[in-house]
Amino acid sequence: MSLSDWLLAKRKLKSKYNLKTAKIKIPEGLWVKCDKCGLLMYHKALIRNFKVCPQCEHHFPASSQERIQQLLDPNSWQVINDKLTSTDPLGFIDQKLYGKRLQDMKRKTGLQDAVQTGLGKINNIPVAIGIMDFRFMGGSMGSVVGEKLTRLIEMATQKEIPVIILCASGGARMQEGLLSLMQMAKVSSALEQHKNKKLLYIPILTSPTTGGVTASFAMLGDIIIAEPNALIAFAGRRVIEQTIKEDLPDNFQTSEYLFAHGFIDLIIPRTKLTNKVSQILALHYSHLR
């Protein structure tokens, strides 16, 4: 067949079957590329794998609602103190009014503040659980975050059940000044009362866990768990290097570095977290009996 005959046949075929040369548009969000290894994944497949890359096990950020679905037994979640909201006691202004920033965050995330607290069950074992959400102002700890966690711990102490807090935070919320720093002592004091009743507290450190959260309740657990390659720190890397005038290791402030130096007890991938936590809870209850 000559080239002219082939072109003629192609035109007839397109005319017969109404073939179009327009590009097919793929909906946004349908495919996700791993930031670490570059693997292209179907979004729903990533969700089914707890938002962990199946090739390199990179842990994608997860919202507080996704954490609830991943960790707790189905239909066991009972939210508490969900109506508490922050005010603007200092009239703080940076690039915008703090009050306006709060309203924007509420609309964007559907949350009242940077933590969800409630009661639930893990493998049918009752727990009190707080889940921080980095989407809300970097998971920063203001008065409402501290108050909700304190009330959660006090309720757990009264009910004599374990406390679990999933940490994801940039630290204390600067827009509330000293009021945010006071939450470190308030939450830590409630945890001390919980400990005095010989009850279990497990913080789970996700990336990032930094600042005042690291300096308080994130490091006060009976068993401290972290996700792989999580950023866990108090001060920033550059600040430390400038202070001590030394270069820091490449893996400094990762969960693996902290585990090697005895700051955390376990590194558990998100896909195995529920089983491991349920084993710890079961051992705790068997010890009490």
Q: Inform me whether the pLDDT recorded for 31 exceeds 80.
A: yes
- Tell me whether residue 167 is annotated as binding: no
> Which domains, from first to last, does the chain contain?
26-60 (no CATH), 62-288 (3.90.226.10)
Residues 72-123: tens digit of each pLDDT: 999 999 999 999 999 998 999 888 999 999 999 999 999 999 999 999 999 9
- Kind and range of the H or E element at 279? helix 273-288
53 among annotated binding-site residues: yes
- Percent of the chain, pLDDT > 90? 85
Q: Is the pLDDT of residue 23 over 80?
A: no
Provide the 8-state DSSP code for 222. Answer: S
What is the residue whose two structure tokens read 């017969």?
16
How far apart CA 6 and CA 14 sit, in angstroms, is 12
Amino acid at 13: L
